[in-house]
Amino acid sequence: MIKKCHTGISYFNDMKIKHILYRNINDLNQEELEFYEENREKFELNTCDRTNCIYYSDDLVWNVEHLGFTAVCEEVYDMLTGLIDPTS
């Protein structure tokens, strides 16, 4: 079900990837979550297993099962592999 915003135009129809990209999937409202689910394959979107933030699938590091995850963002990968100091 698509809800109408106060302008009479569906926010869902006006929503763009930039509205959800790099945001935590748990922070999305219902319309944003539906947009993510309906466009996930079309735009090749996925989430970082550690941060739950939405990224393009190509921006994630895959095959990191040895670190306990399926896919993580580069920042998390660097932290997990010791490439950056998490305290800095």
Could you read off the pLDDT of 2-51 as tens digits, one per residue? Answer: 433 333 334 456 889 999 999 999 999 999 999 999 999 999 999 999 99
24 closest CA partner among 49, 57, 51: 51
Both tokens assigned to 65:
């099962």
Question: Which domain, by its residues, includes 19?
Answer: 11-80
Within-domain flag for 22: yes
Whether the CB-CB separation of 39 and 31 falls below 8 Å is answered with: no
The reply to whether 88 falls in a domain is: no
Q: Tell me how far apart the alpha carbons of residues 14 and 80 are, in angstroms, rounded to a whole number.
A: 37
Domain count, the chain: 1
Residue 29, in any domain of the structure: yes
2 lies in some domain: no
CA-CA distance, 46 to 22, in Å (whole number)? 10
In-domain check, residue 37: yes
Give the global pTM: 0.78
Q: What is the spatial distance between Cα 33 and Cα 88, in angstroms, rounded to a whole number?
A: 33
Residue 53 forms part of a structural domain: yes
Is there a domain that residue 5 lies in?
no
